[in-house]
Structure 1
């Protein structure tokens, strides 16, 4: 930071701004500006808002919370979808189970209703036989038939709203079961072979059965709307079979009339044909809905010994030829038709059992599905928090690892910056970057470079009378002073060997014609700095240096792989060294080439020295660099004694501290 302040102050007084020892511009050569090199510390995030950075950077607490929320939402979405899907499936299962239970109730009602209809059909046949045969009781007892019908009525759990005709022919709406039983008893008491007509009997029983079958049809429609089609198919077949038996029972009544009276007249014959045809059609319709009934029907027709007689009698009634009335033929016909209808009722009972089994199977399947659905939902609800907790722990672990990694990366960056700073002090930044990237740096030729050498006058005598530690402290203090001063100029410190100090300008990044002025100004500044410097262990003695500089072409490159050094080669280096060795204390010895270059630029004063015999070069015309017009910009810190207080190297201070501990 002190060096940077000094660089800025020097820039205000005409020195090259931003120039440093061992620094160079990565831009085009020859632009004359020295730019600070880019290190790893410069690679950072782009500028952005503080809130946005904290929200997206996991190294911040707010960023970790946001990242944790995102990671928790990620598994929560499929878990929530699975919960919703399972809940909907469970809801569908419950709806299906409720529908199956509703169907079971409807099947129970339909079964009970079918039993009542069956008993009324049988009662109608017996009453019709009783009337047609003028009160014959040869086949059965009506009282026993009535008792069975009443028992079926008592077993009904619900009673449909039916329209039932009264005894006198009036119409009664929506009778309850008790009222219906009263009406039925009133009708039975009026039955008399002499006073009752077959039309009245048929009208009463047919109206009641029709009302109950209509209610059964409505029940089956409600079942069909529930979506349980298989049950509806069985119920429709059951309903059609009931209606088939109903129509066959009505036709049987007209058949009894045919054999008991000798013929059927007018509307009676038409009614027989219509009900016989409807009975056969409804029977075939039942077979279409439940195909296995057709097989059972064929089997029962084969097993029924009087089935041929029944068909023959049906054909005889359809022909309707007049014949002698015969009670015996009526009884035989009635018995055969009753047996045939009883066989059909076996199909009805078989169908009823199938319906019951199917409904029970559906209820069992619905119960299993419900249990599975509840088990899956419970499992999902139990596993979901576990998954979320595991994800949270995993994210917390990752965040902890990331925080530690970020801290290590920060420390690594800090250490890298330190190592880069040290490396850039040892090698030019551009050369160091190239050496790191390519592992090799080719030598380069520079056409115009100014090289500066200086050494300490009487250094051998000073070293002889000083301890090694005092020599190290002395050299560290003087080189610290020189290093601080050359930071203000576009120069590169090549090396120090003992008391020899070598600086060059114009490489590794060329700076046009400024190299000679940069070195000249620096040389005057270093000479002026010596006037305020005192030896740390001999404060009464003033430091004296001898300086020399020369301008010319050089070749520069990296030498060695262990502790590589950036070295300069060429006659220019030798000549600059001879200028220093042949110079005088507290004076700057320059060659004719430097004198001409300074004259071109202007602003510097020189003094002719004359011909000097230079080893290896012969006689050379040389000059003294005396001063610069306007003076040298200097930092005030150099003129204060406190600037040289801490002149010991770090490792010496540590050794001293360890010694006194």
Structure 2
């Protein structure tokens, strides 16, 4: 085997014997996604791979945990908002009760003033107690600002307001001079402050679903408030026979505001429209209320009549009582809405907690299952990597053996395409040699001795030709055939490569002793010729790389017509050597070559400057007697580090 072919073998091994395993994956080029990962089959790489596989399911698990936690947090925030709304609704209800009690008290006090202390309709002390009870039941007190006697605005707390209210009541009951304007100013200021606080609370709850109900509740309270204020002027009209222009204007304004606020409440909560229709149908004095409103609107002067004033007061009181039924209905609707919202958010919170608990409970199980699965896969991968490594080693051995039988490039092409077309080479050099007297040696030797003898000499020849760019074609008996310039062309180097190899083999063969005949030296007869050939694979079972053409026959004739311990070359080869230079030849003359006729031939003697030292300088050390000598490819097969 030649030096170049040896390199080709090594390169061919790397190209053809590659098999994908965990070891290859760990050393993959940068283009691969796993290029930077370590070997996942063993050691640190296995731990890293396990960590990666555990992190992979942990990411969606963590995402699910975070998502569930965020949803649960939103539910809890919503729950807190609903609880705040419930608190606001409670405060609104308490505030609404106080406003209602103050409205009723204002009506009673106004009637008391306009009738000059008459108690025909109700007991003021009882009315005051009901108002005080509503005040005491308030869980929080709004900032109530009332104008003082000096024109300044005073902020009152609960106790101070109660004192002020008691003082005003005493003034009314003691029959001190109390005017209609003073009564309206006091109660209207208190109710306005409370309703303003209620309006601000509802604005804070605008993001909730209950805001429509709260606005309807507030507007209904204001409608009742405006109706109560207008009723005070109505009582004044029937009790005194007419209204002054300013009082008549105030009546018209408050009556219009009351109707507008009532309509807005019905629009905010459409289901209240049916309740209001029922109210108008069931209320006996509803027609009287509208009739009296028309009379007061016209403001025609008439005789004062306390009885008419009392009837008007009773009809308005009945009407406002019916409106308060709507208010209670709306309050229950708001309470039901908030209760349903709390129930829904409680269920959502329970579901969110359950999901979070399930996720937290299932996550370790998933991680454990993934860990076991990855461990099993890694164990299988480790065994697979081991088998792949063994398979790669055996494949490399088989390919090395194949490359000893066929040229590496030809063998690779044969494995890939299953066919190799014949190829023409314009100029190659072919070498033949055989053993002089082999027939006589074989006749006096046993078959085993002959095989041992040929095996030893050709093993040494095979090892030596690896130093040259040549290819061993075949051995037939004692015939040894080598070529250069194919299957990989090398320009005109094939001539000098064969010449140097022939001199080297001749020099070494002179030192070789026949194993079973120690006293005899080996003699070989060599011949070489340069010319064109056709090379190709012959056969499908045990295919051989064969050379065809006249060049092969001529080279064989050079060997057969040569002499012992000499190298017989043709004129063509001699001319090629002269072109290259560095070699000495000796003219032999014309030789009758079978099938060719007379041919002018030469002896190749030595390289320039090495005529007297060729044997000593070129005889390799391993040509000494060594029963264990073996070709290089066999040493490679035995060398585990090579694989």
Structure 2 equivalent of residue 20 of structure 1: 3
Structure 1 equivalent of residue 356 of structure 2: 377
Structure 2 equivalent of residue 177 of structure 1: 158
Structure 1 equivalent of residue 449 of structure 2: 470
The answer to whether residue 204 in structure 2 is matched with residue 222 in structure 1 is yes
The answer to whether residue 626 in structure 2 is matched with residue 644 in structure 1 is yes
Q: CA deviation at 1:402?
A: 5.0
Structure 2 Cα separation of the partners of residues 231 and 53 of structure 1: 58
Q: CA deviation at 1:177?
A: 3.4
For the aligned residue pairs, the C-alpha RMSD in angstroms reads 3.7
The answer to whether residue 261 in structure 2 is matched with residue 282 in structure 1 is yes
Structure 2 Cα separation of the partners of residues 584 and 319 of structure 1: 158
Structure 2 equivalent of residue 8 of structure 1: none
Q: CA deviation at 1:393?
A: 5.2
Structure 2 equivalent of residue 148 of structure 1: 130
Q: CA deviation at 1:22?
A: 5.3
Structure 2 equivalent of residue 13 of structure 1: none
The answer to whether residue 208 in structure 2 is matched with residue 235 in structure 1 is no
| Aligned with residue 320 of structure 1, among 296, 299, 311 | 299
Structure 2 equivalent of residue 301 of structure 1: 280
Inter-CA distance 550–188: structure 2 relative to 1 (3 Å threshold): closer
| Aligned with residue 187 of structure 1, among 168, 178, 200 | 168
The answer to whether residue 505 in structure 2 is matched with residue 526 in structure 1 is yes
Structure 2 equivalent of residue 15 of structure 1: none
Structure 2 Cα separation of the partners of residues 146 and 88 of structure 1: 52
Range moving further from structure 2, 96-105 or 580-589: 580-589
Structure 2 Cα separation of the partners of residues 148 and 552 of structure 1: 135
The answer to whether residue 113 in structure 2 is matched with residue 131 in structure 1 is yes
The answer to whether residue 194 in structure 2 is matched with residue 212 in structure 1 is yes
Structure 2 Cα separation of the partners of residues 317 and 47 of structure 1: 101
Contact 1:37 1:430 in 2 (8 A): no
Range moving further from structure 2, 114-123 or 171-180: 171-180
| Aligned with residue 464 of structure 2, among 478, 485, 491 | 485
Structure 2 equivalent of residue 429 of structure 1: 408
Structure 1 Cα separation of the partners of residues 303 and 281 of structure 2: 31
| Aligned with residue 139 of structure 2, among 157, 173, 176 | 157
The answer to whether residue 520 in structure 2 is matched with residue 541 in structure 1 is yes
What SS does the corresponding residue of 2:210 show, helix, strand or coil? helix
Offset from partner CA, 1:348-374 (integer Å, 9 cap, x none): 111111111111122222222222333
Structure 1 equivalent of residue 420 of structure 2: 441
| Aligned with residue 107 of structure 1, among 86, 89, 107 | 89
Contact 2:422 2:537 in 1 (8 A): yes
Structure 2 Cα separation of the partners of residues 423 and 220 of structure 1: 94
Q: CA deviation at 1:259?
A: 2.1
The answer to whether residue 81 in structure 2 is matched with residue 94 in structure 1 is no
The answer to whether residue 12 in structure 2 is matched with residue 39 in structure 1 is yes
Q: CA deviation at 1:312?
A: 1.4
Structure 1 Cα separation of the partners of residues 196 and 399 of structure 2: 101
Structure 2 Cα separation of the partners of residues 628 and 649 of structure 1: 27
| Aligned with residue 533 of structure 2, among 554, 560, 584 | 554
Contact 1:476 1:649 in 2 (8 A): no
TM-score normalised per structure 1:
0.82
Alignment size in residue pairs: 619
The answer to whether residue 439 in structure 2 is matched with residue 494 in structure 1 is no
Structure 2 equivalent of residue 31 of structure 1: none
Structure 2 Cα separation of the partners of residues 109 and 512 of structure 1: 108
Structure 2 Cα separation of the partners of residues 457 and 326 of structure 1: 166
What SS does the corresponding residue of 1:541 show, helix, strand or coil? strand
Extract unaligned runs of 5+ from structure 1: 4-18, 25-34, 653-661
| Aligned with residue 185 of structure 2, among 203, 217, 220 | 203
Range moving further from structure 2, 480-489 or 134-143: 134-143
Contact 1:21 1:425 in 2 (8 A): no
Contact 1:21 1:486 in 2 (8 A): no
Contact 1:54 1:63 in 2 (8 A): no
Structure 2 equivalent of residue 11 of structure 1: none
Extract unaligned runs of 5+ from structure 2: 19-23, 635-643
Range moving further from structure 2, 389-398 or 444-453: 389-398
